[in-house]
A and B are shown apart, each in its own frame.
Chain A
């Protein structure tokens, strides 16, 4: 059996997902869009399946049906009906929508076109009330519809109305084995854009027929307009029972007494986040990619009663440090000491709750790295070879990795680094670079040879594959981590150099290589071990204990091969019973307002700057986690951050919790009132329970961003519940009404206490504040997050709460706009200032429909009002710069302020109708 597919073809997603889910054994062949696979069809038609009988299946849905049939699942009537609907109703509209969204850039129109079918799906799911389309088990129709809609529904920017049922169903299918994996194969994490090649080759789809009566069909099926999941009487009954159990059975939290060591009867989770390089201040992308994501998972694990050890530290060796030290005229160690403290302070501010935050320049690092080296050497896993290396004659040194730049030999990206290309992600040997340049003096380096040691990866490949097969099956690897690892194995492993001609590093103990140090990618991951060794002398209980310990690595996707291939090979080759990788959680990239973060250009928000914005750390955590680049790249945007803060935190979450608490205080003298549960209360309990259950399922699979949505869904449900029941009116009524007001208040304040538990991993301070305000018992979080999640009445009748006050503050557009300007970095010089002003106006959080264009014209023509405002801003900014200089502030901070000042001056000149002077020389850059 042979399956023919092609990348970037949305129909192939269906068949790949079905094949992975069922575990079909078939040969998958990737062909190009034009290949004619099915002999009797005159047009190329993909995907196609060559059946054992010699016939071809040439429609994606029939291929999916077949895969399901081979596992004994014949498609039911209902499933057939959905498939036929997908083929005849959805596909024509979808073809049109894809065309508009991808090739015409009309995302909003595409979303509009899809509203009809999506709301039909929404109401059908709501009426049926099952997990999946036809029942609580997935059917072939689920896979087909999921895959058909995937390009849109997985796009974080896609909006076609609130679709809570569709979103929930979509997520349930996404969690099935292999589905996300298939999506990654087809879309490569690029979202809709990955489809453009395919769509360009398709005929222009006809406009969807205006089927006026279609809407009546939808209405026919929509019985209840309300889109909430209707819970069954059994579910409601179960929810009420759970609720009434209260906090009776309260487990003890797992002790965090130092040193934390693996325990016999617990799940022992060892969490690492990629070690940040010491001489860069981390930016928001670094923070969400590693330390923050791992922190959420670690906190969650502790709440779930797991025995967690979370370690991280600064990666301190390498040329960059050496160079920085020379620049500042101090020793490399002093540089490391200085920046290690900077890192530690930033992470502390972000409330990253490490069990230990160490560093790699320690004697444990030398001991452990050298021990692993000798063991590899004794077992014959090291090779000796002469290497041609680039040497810069004018700088008098070998140019390691990042000190040489040139054209990527694979993808022709002009700024590829000596070890890896940022564009295509492939690893490079510096000598392979075309037109190499010394980064420091811009001279062309010469090739010189020198003797080096190599880790013999081909010899370890079989062992590695055996391990990975187990680990990939049992662990929670993200899709990109799986794909990157698989592609490395598929390409075949090559020996990798582990030594470098440098001074600042772990010395190679071999006498023949005494003037060399270990290459950072051999050395740095060993940092995880040595940092743990600095935490406890019993570190081997974590690192040489594969039976008891589950190891999770968190990182951005560019780090995957080193953690899934190179590092495990070092440990396997050392043959010392090391704990090997169990799961790799890799993120895609976070961009800054649609460009890259860049320290040298001053673009983006860096950890230290975030601290100066006056915005609390929890708000940063929330927004970064809300935008976490889980399946595809995402972008940090100031305007969006303000929007999310004001809509989700202030109006949704904060509003609900505050109202619940205020009702208790105002109407019931601060004590939880008597409650008598009615049907609709049971309905709410069941719905909240369902979200809690989903939250746990998602976080168990490290789907951090998606799980956050469950929290927001609960507070949305809570707000609706209060709104419908109007306790503030009922409290003024008779006894029955007053009892009703009491019940609604009591249930609401208990939902708030559940939210405090669910929020802990995401927003620890807010969580603690809620617990303090409501005086939530210590053990309630542990109790409610056990097993599949239990929403219990943790604040019983007569429980006295504390003083309630608002949790969040509005982020005002002016404040945000000022921050955006401050951190925008220098705009590219060639950009037309008019456009620039226009872009800013568009991005402002409140785009009054007509104000943007007017403003642009105003600036161009000279606008006295604008000029006045700008003159004021220039004066203020000038003062700020003078103060900073007076305080002898950080150079970088001053430079950023100066850039803002120059930018403002330029705008002022324009507003006054003067021609701006030519841009000043960029002397700041080194």
Chain B
């Protein structure tokens, strides 16, 4: 799963594939091994490295503050979202919904790596949401729809239908 994600990320970053991946342990933690003898372990670590390699540093944030926020969401992805027990899903959605109330993307007004990885990670949850739930977590749905339509992001994942007209009715402005 994580490997497909990384491969999608490579594509969206326009990287020519020169990295070899494998996984480690029961949690299938990704490991990157490239030709220069570099070896990196962990999804967030590798993803950050790929963005640097693709020379698109803006995707990691444009200020020290934003870079910290991006890394925080990457951390959130690998600690909270992955292996999130069923009873916690609602809290995660509720918190995220509240957070996104006044934001377009996770780190504010520009698209970053945090959006890509959070999108990949939350996809399995959003796919299963009923229409009413999508409405309940309206800000999450809006953000999700944005990201899945962001050029080059949604590679290996099926699109999720978000009913736009309903949202316009309950939107804030």
Contact size range, B: 20 to 34
Complex CA–CA separation, A85 to B108 (angstroms): 27
Complex CA–CA separation, A214 to B43 (angstroms): 17
Complex CA–CA separation, A61 to B49 (angstroms): 18
Chain A CB within 8 A of B69 CB = yes
A211 nearest CB across to chain B (Å): 5
Within 8 Å CB of B29, what residues of A? 88
The reply to whether B45 and A91 contact each other, CB–CB distance below 8 Å, is no
The reply to whether A42 and B94 contact each other, CB–CB distance below 8 Å, is yes
B45 nearest CB across to chain A (Å): 4
Chain B CB within 8 A of A462 CB = no
The reply to whether A217 and B25 contact each other, CB–CB distance below 8 Å, is yes
**CB closest chain-A residue, reference B44:** A84
Chain B CB within 8 A of A59 CB = yes
Within 8 Å CB of A87, what residues of B? 75, 78-79
The reply to whether A66 and B65 contact each other, CB–CB distance below 8 Å, is yes
Chain B CB within 8 A of A52 CB = yes
1/0 contact string of B73-91 vs chain A (CB within 8 Å) = 0011011000000000001
The reply to whether A74 and B72 contact each other, CB–CB distance below 8 Å, is no
The reply to whether B91 and A43 contact each other, CB–CB distance below 8 Å, is yes
1/0 contact string of A34-46 vs chain B (CB within 8 Å) = 0000011111000
Known: A74-B67, A85-B41. A40 touches B98 (CB 8 A): yes
Chain A CB within 8 A of B19 CB = no
The reply to whether A84 and B78 contact each other, CB–CB distance below 8 Å, is yes
The reply to whether A88 and B45 contact each other, CB–CB distance below 8 Å, is no
B155 nearest CB across to chain A (Å): 23
Within 8 Å CB of B26, what residues of A? 209, 211-214
| B:43-75 near A, CB below 8 Å | 43-45, 48-49, 64-65, 67-69, 71-72, 75
B121 nearest CB across to chain A (Å): 13
| B:1-20 near A, CB below 8 Å | none
The reply to whether B78 and A88 contact each other, CB–CB distance below 8 Å, is yes
Complex CA–CA separation, A88 to B101 (angstroms): 28
B50 nearest CB across to chain A (Å): 11
Chain A CB within 8 A of B133 CB = no
Chain B CB within 8 A of A53 CB = yes
Complex CA–CA separation, A81 to B95 (angstroms): 27
A294 nearest CB across to chain B (Å): 45
B169 nearest CB across to chain A (Å): 24
**Neighbour of A80 across the interface among B38, B45, B69, CB < 8 A:** B45
Complex CA–CA separation, A211 to B44 (angstroms): 20
Chain B CB within 8 A of A58 CB = yes
A245 nearest CB across to chain B (Å): 38
| A:51-89 near B, CB below 8 Å | 51-53, 55, 57-59, 61-63, 65-66, 69-70, 74-75, 77, 80-81, 83-85, 87-88
The reply to whether B64 and A69 contact each other, CB–CB distance below 8 Å, is yes
Complex CA–CA separation, A213 to B26 (angstroms): 6
**CB closest chain-A residue, reference B78:** A88
The reply to whether A81 and B42 contact each other, CB–CB distance below 8 Å, is yes
The reply to whether A62 and B75 contact each other, CB–CB distance below 8 Å, is yes
**CB closest chain-B residue, reference A88:** B78
Within 8 Å CB of B44, what residues of A? 80, 84
| B:88-128 near A, CB below 8 Å | 91, 94-95, 98-99, 101, 108
**CB closest chain-A residue, reference B82:** A88
Within 8 Å CB of B38, what residues of A? 77
B32 nearest CB across to chain A (Å): 10
A615 nearest CB across to chain B (Å): 52
Chain A CB within 8 A of B149 CB = no
B30 nearest CB across to chain A (Å): 11
Chain A CB within 8 A of B157 CB = no
**CB closest chain-B residue, reference A71:** B64
Known: A55-B69, A77-B49, A80-B48. A85 touches B42 (CB 8 A): yes
A38 nearest CB across to chain B (Å): 9
| A:10-59 near B, CB below 8 Å | 39-43, 51-53, 55, 57-59
The reply to whether A59 and B75 contact each other, CB–CB distance below 8 Å, is yes
**Neighbour of B40 across the interface among A77, A83, A213, CB < 8 A:** A77
The reply to whether A66 and B68 contact each other, CB–CB distance below 8 Å, is yes
Chain A CB within 8 A of B24 CB = yes
The reply to whether A69 and B67 contact each other, CB–CB distance below 8 Å, is yes
1/0 contact string of A207-222 vs chain B (CB within 8 Å) = 0010111101100100
Within 8 Å CB of B43, what residues of A? 84
Contact size range, A: 35 or more
The reply to whether A40 and B95 contact each other, CB–CB distance below 8 Å, is yes
Chain A CB within 8 A of B164 CB = no
The reply to whether B45 and A84 contact each other, CB–CB distance below 8 Å, is yes
**CB closest chain-A residue, reference B66:** A53
Chain A CB within 8 A of B172 CB = no
| A:417-436 near B, CB below 8 Å | none
Within 8 Å CB of A84, what residues of B? 41-45, 75, 78
Within 8 Å CB of B173, what residues of A? none
Complex CA–CA separation, A39 to B95 (angstroms): 9
Quick one: which of A52, A55, A75, A91 has the most chain B CB within 10 A? Answer: A55
**CB closest chain-A residue, reference B98:** A40
The reply to whether B25 and A214 contact each other, CB–CB distance below 8 Å, is yes
Complex CA–CA separation, A216 to B22 (angstroms): 14
Within 8 Å CB of A52, what residues of B? 65
Known: A77-B49, A80-B44, A87-B78. A62 touches B71 (CB 8 A): yes
Quick one: which of A43, A84, A85 has the most chain B CB within 10 A? Answer: A84
The reply to whether A53 and B65 contact each other, CB–CB distance below 8 Å, is yes
The reply to whether B41 and A69 contact each other, CB–CB distance below 8 Å, is no
The reply to whether A57 and B48 contact each other, CB–CB distance below 8 Å, is no
The reply to whether B65 and A59 contact each other, CB–CB distance below 8 Å, is no
| A:800-839 near B, CB below 8 Å | none
The reply to whether B68 and A81 contact each other, CB–CB distance below 8 Å, is no
**Neighbour of B79 across the interface among A43, A57, A91, A213, CB < 8 A:** A91
Complex CA–CA separation, A51 to B69 (angstroms): 10
Within 8 Å CB of A77, what residues of B? 38, 40, 45, 48-49
Within 8 Å CB of A70, what residues of B? 64
B60 nearest CB across to chain A (Å): 9
A878 nearest CB across to chain B (Å): 68
Within 8 Å CB of A58, what residues of B? 72
Complex CA–CA separation, A220 to B25 (angstroms): 11
Within 8 Å CB of A51, what residues of B? 65, 68-69
Within 8 Å CB of B69, what residues of A? 51, 55, 57, 62
**Neighbour of A61 across the interface among B27, B41, B75, B91, CB < 8 A:** B75
Known: A88-B42, A213-B26, A214-B25. A41 touches B95 (CB 8 A): yes
Within 8 Å CB of A40, what residues of B? 95, 98-99, 101
Within 8 Å CB of A214, what residues of B? 25-26
A19 nearest CB across to chain B (Å): 14
Complex CA–CA separation, A337 to B42 (angstroms): 71
Within 8 Å CB of A85, what residues of B? 41-42
The reply to whether B65 and A88 contact each other, CB–CB distance below 8 Å, is no
Complex CA–CA separation, A395 to B69 (angstroms): 70
Complex CA–CA separation, A85 to B31 (angstroms): 12
Complex CA–CA separation, A62 to B79 (angstroms): 13
Complex CA–CA separation, A59 to B72 (angstroms): 7
Known: A43-B91, A69-B68, A217-B25. A81 touches B45 (CB 8 A): yes
Chain B residues within 8 Å of A, Cβ to Cβ: 24-27, 29, 38, 40-45, 48-49, 64-65, 67-69, 71-72, 75-76, 78-79, 91, 94-95, 98-99, 101, 108
A66-B65, A216-B25 given; 13 more Cβ-contact pairs under 8 Å: A42-B94, A43-B91, A52-B65, A57-B68, A61-B71, A62-B71, A69-B64, A80-B44, A83-B45, A211-B25, A211-B26, A213-B24, A213-B26
Q: List 17 A-B contacts (CB under 8 A).
A: A40-B99, A42-B95, A51-B65, A53-B108, A57-B69, A61-B75, A65-B67, A65-B68, A66-B68, A69-B64, A80-B48, A83-B45, A84-B78, A85-B42, A88-B42, A211-B26, A213-B24
The 6 closest A-B pairs by CB, nearest first: A62-B72, A66-B68, A84-B42, A40-B99, A40-B98, A69-B64
Chain A residues within 8 Å of B, Cβ to Cβ: 39-43, 51-53, 55, 57-59, 61-63, 65-66, 69-70, 74-75, 77, 80-81, 83-85, 87-88, 91, 209, 211-214, 216-217, 220
